[in-house]
Amino acid sequence: MDKNTIIGFLLIGVVLFAFSWLNKPTPEQIEAQRRYNDSIARIEYAQQQELQKQENKTAEAEEALDTLPDSVRVARLEKSFGVFAEAMVGTDGYTVLENEVVELRFSNKGGRVCYARLKEYDNYESQPLILFDEKDSKFNFTLVTATNRVVNTGDLYFSPVKGSDPNTVTMRLNAGEGSYLDFTYTLKPDDYMLSYSIKGTGLNGILAPATNSLDLVWEQDIRQQEKGRKFEDRYVGLFYKFVTDNVENLSESKSDSKQIPNRLRWIGYKDMFFSTVLISDAGLEATTLDSKAFPSGNILKQFKTTTSVPFDLQGQESTDFRFYFGPNKFALLKSYDQGVEGVDQQLDLEKLVPLGWGIFRWVNQYFVIPLFDFLGSFIHSYGLIIFLLTVIVKIILFPLTYKSYMSSAKLRVLRPQVEEINAKYPGQDKAVERQKATMELYSRAGASPMSGCLPMLLQMPVLIALFMFFPSAIELRHQSFLWAHDLSTYDAIFSWNAHIPLISTYFGNHISLFCLLMTITNIIYTKYNMEMTNTGQQQMPGMKIMMYMMPLMFLFIFNNYASGLTYYYFISTLITIVQTLAFRYMINEDKLLAKLEANKKKPVKKSGFMKRLEEAQKAQQAQLEKQKQQKKR
């Protein structure tokens, strides 16, 4: 990492700090926010208490009904639930659909998917990877009867109807003779996508005549599946796609909610590497989305959707959905758009994979992922794949790295002449003359301090793209390499349980070896690079210390990150050091200096930038002279 990179990061840090400081709330705003949060908490508490009371009343009512004679119980149920009275009583049971990759269970009560397990994966405790079970989720429709009774499908018992297709099950809600509501589920072999359709038969006269849609409430708790809870939590979010627009999401760092009047194509409850996605062919309308974050425990976030879906009361058309229960694997999610004509019809499920925005996502999508998949097609060690990927990236960026080094080398060989200029124009009062003489020297010799910045900037899209890629690559999950047991999370060589203020909060209760090696190599490279890029110009006080602070900051920042990422940075920095040493010994600096001296004899062709820079320096010098004259007067 050269001086320009360090200065760039430092400037970004200063801007972020200044922005945070200038926008920090006043004590009055903090107090107002506290009162607002307290009021919201009281409202939520009251709602929870009321919900608990209703649940207790329902349980007591069910228990009381069980003690009544059958005739009396039926009469009371008919009075409260009308045609759905019989469906209020049933037998708890489950129907299973499964294929090679997923196991799904459907509950008689509610007729919904109440359990989803991914067969090819397990969690960080080597237990079966369960996306959710019955207590973690709800999926209920509200039905309004012709007699204005309101019932919830989550309280009603469905009857499983098995057909000739072993991959299909129909959960049927009876509403009287010849009237019923069917939830039909179809799971194809070796597929994470579940087809789901709703269709009524004989419900005209059973449900309210004005029924043309059904209100849906969908809730799910997101379980911790990875070892690093804090790191995993950064990638958990509620995502949604508009019917004719892009994919957006609620805040991933805090609790959030949003009301969306526009139609949505799908809603996804996303974990770091796995997602549950509800896809509606007709669209979801009048949607309210809620995300609640939990600071501790095995539940990372709780997602809730309240929406409305079209429904044909006459029973001529079905309301069709699809559920995706599977991994956030780019190629797999992208495959669901194969053969789909029209951009508006595509699902864009691959947007669930966080690959960065704009040019960084393009680099990942069209360069990094194809190269990564190609190497993975014949190499089984992902540690070796990362190494080869790093080498290939370094080879591609080699011309830019070489150009940046040559720029620094030109400035370095001119250092004795710069030091002579510094001696000729000492002191702060002659800073303008000193800077002007230095720039004239560089201009005549054909060297420029800015020429090393452009190659660095051109490398940034690739470097940032890789920063986004490695933590989101599910292929690294539970893949071991050397001492790292899982390249998708940190590789702790030393851990402790005691809570240490600040350290445990920001650094963690462990030390990651690849992160430590990355830090050490960055310190070595910083020391060597400072010596290599010393051009003789005066530096800001404390700059040397600040340059050493950056690698130490990386130790705190990346200690909880995926070891695959820190391993990449470690290898990349090592290769950079080797390249720099090779350049140093391959390039004859005496010949380079002779070439620069020869350039001084040629006519100077000033670039537009250099002309503007000289004009700015002349204006600054004129201003200083004017100030000196005013002081003398």
SS3 8: helix
Could you tell me the pLDDT band of residue 410, with boundaries at 50, 70 and 90? confident
pLDDT at 581: 84
pLDDT at 75: 54
The answer to whether the beta carbons of residues 193 and 277 sit under 8 Å apart is: no
pLDDT at 41: 43
More confident position, 107 or 357: 107
- Lowest-confidence range among 2-6, 24-28, 60-64, 93-97? 60-64
Distance from C-alpha of 234 to C-alpha of 232, rounded to nearest angstrom: 5
User: Is it the case that residue 9 has pLDDT exceeding 70?
Assistant: no
More confident position, 107 or 63: 107
Distance from C-alpha of 272 to C-alpha of 291, rounded to nearest angstrom: 15
H/E stretch holding 624 reads: helix 608-632
Distance from C-alpha of 497 to C-alpha of 585, rounded to nearest angstrom: 49
Question: How many CA atoms lie less than 13 Å away from 215 in the CB half-sphere?
Answer: 9
More confident position, 353 or 63: 353
Could you tell me the pLDDT band of residue 42, with boundaries at 50, 70 and 90? very low
pLDDT at 568: 92
User: Is it the case that residue 237 has pLDDT exceeding 90?
Assistant: yes
User: Is it the case that residue 73 has pLDDT exceeding 80?
Assistant: no
SS3 299: strand
User: Is it the case that residue 305 has pLDDT exceeding 90?
Assistant: yes
Which residue, 215, 171, 386, 349, is CA-closest to 269? 349
The answer to whether the beta carbons of residues 124 and 197 sit under 8 Å apart is: no
**Burial classification of residue 461, based on how many CB atoms lie within 10 Å of its CB (0-12 exposed, 13-18 middle, 19 or more buried):** middle
Architecture category of domain 68-354 in CATH:
Distorted Sandwich (2.70)
510-512 and 492-495 as β-strands: parallel, antiparallel, unpaired?
antiparallel
Tell me the per-residue pLDDT of 264-281, one tens digit each, with 9 for 90 and over: 999 999 999 999 999 998
Which residue, 167, 217, 205, 186, is CA-closest to 318? 186
564-582 mean pLDDT: 90
- Lowest-confidence range among 78-82, 290-294, 432-436? 78-82
User: Is it the case that residue 316 has pLDDT exceeding 80?
Assistant: yes
What would the 3-class secondary structure string for 144-161 be? Answer: EECCCCEEEHHHCECEEE
Give percent of the chain with pLDDT exceeding 70. 78
pLDDT at 63: 47
User: Is it the case that residue 537 has pLDDT exceeding 70?
Assistant: no
User: Is it the case that residue 500 has pLDDT exceeding 80?
Assistant: no
User: Is it the case that residue 326 has pLDDT exceeding 80?
Assistant: yes
The residue count for the chain: 633
Could you tell me the pLDDT band of residue 583, with boundaries at 50, 70 and 90? confident
109-131 mean pLDDT: 93
Distance from C-alpha of 249 to C-alpha of 537, rounded to nearest angstrom: 48
The tokens for 360 are: 């960084």
What would the 3-class secondary structure string for 86-114 be? Answer: HHHCCCCCEEEEECCCEEEEEECECCCEE
Highest mean pLDDT among 94-108, 392-406, 416-430, 481-495: 94-108
The answer to whether the beta carbons of residues 235 and 272 sit under 8 Å apart is: yes
Residue 109, number of CB atoms within 10 A of its CB: 19
pLDDT at 266: 95
The DSSP output letter for 596 is H
pLDDT at 507: 76
94-109 mean pLDDT: 94
User: Is it the case that residue 36 has pLDDT exceeding 70?
Assistant: no
User: Is it the case that residue 592 has pLDDT exceeding 90?
Assistant: no
The answer to whether the beta carbons of residues 102 and 117 sit under 8 Å apart is: yes
User: Is it the case that residue 34 has pLDDT exceeding 60?
Assistant: no
- Lowest-confidence range among 175-184, 257-266, 286-295, 440-449? 440-449
The tokens for 117 are: 């397990």
What are the DSSP E strand ranges found in 378-536?
492-495, 510-512
**Burial classification of residue 633, based on how many CB atoms lie within 10 Å of its CB (0-12 exposed, 13-18 middle, 19 or more buried):** exposed
pLDDT at 413: 75
pLDDT at 38: 45
Distance from C-alpha of 411 to C-alpha of 535, rounded to nearest angstrom: 6
Distance from C-alpha of 7 to C-alpha of 13, rounded to nearest angstrom: 10
Mean pLDDT computed over every residue of the chain = 81
pLDDT at 422: 75
418-424 mean pLDDT: 75
pLDDT at 115: 95
Could you tell me the pLDDT band of residue 621, with boundaries at 50, 70 and 90? low
60-87 mean pLDDT: 58
Tell me the per-residue pLDDT of 558-568, one tens digit each, with 9 for 90 and over: 888 899 999 99
Instruction: Tell me the residue type at 552.
Output: L
Distance from C-alpha of 174 to C-alpha of 202, rounded to nearest angstrom: 10
193-198 mean pLDDT: 95
User: Is it the case that residue 444 has pLDDT exceeding 60?
Assistant: yes
H/E stretch holding 33 reads: helix 27-67
- Lowest-confidence range among 333-342, 530-539, 622-631? 530-539
Residue 302, number of CB atoms within 10 A of its CB: 18
The answer to whether the beta carbons of residues 567 and 386 sit under 8 Å apart is: yes
User: Is it the case that residue 409 has pLDDT exceeding 70?
Assistant: yes
What are the DSSP E strand ranges found in 30-101?
94-98
User: Is it the case that residue 37 has pLDDT exceeding 50?
Assistant: no
Strand partners, 200: 181
pLDDT at 104: 95
pLDDT at 157: 92
Which residues touch 293 (CB under 8 Å, ≥6 apart)? 233, 253, 254, 255, 300, 301
Distance from C-alpha of 279 to C-alpha of 340, rounded to nearest angstrom: 15
Helices (H), 512-588: 513-532, 543-558, 563-586
The answer to whether the beta carbons of residues 441 and 424 sit under 8 Å apart is: no
Residue 4, number of CB atoms within 10 A of its CB: 19
208-216 mean pLDDT: 90
Helices (H), 346-396: 359-363, 369-376, 382-396
Angle 89-92-95 from CA coordinates, rounded to 5°: 125
Model pTM score: 0.77
pLDDT at 28: 55
pLDDT at 111: 92
User: Is it the case that residue 35 has pLDDT exceeding 60?
Assistant: no
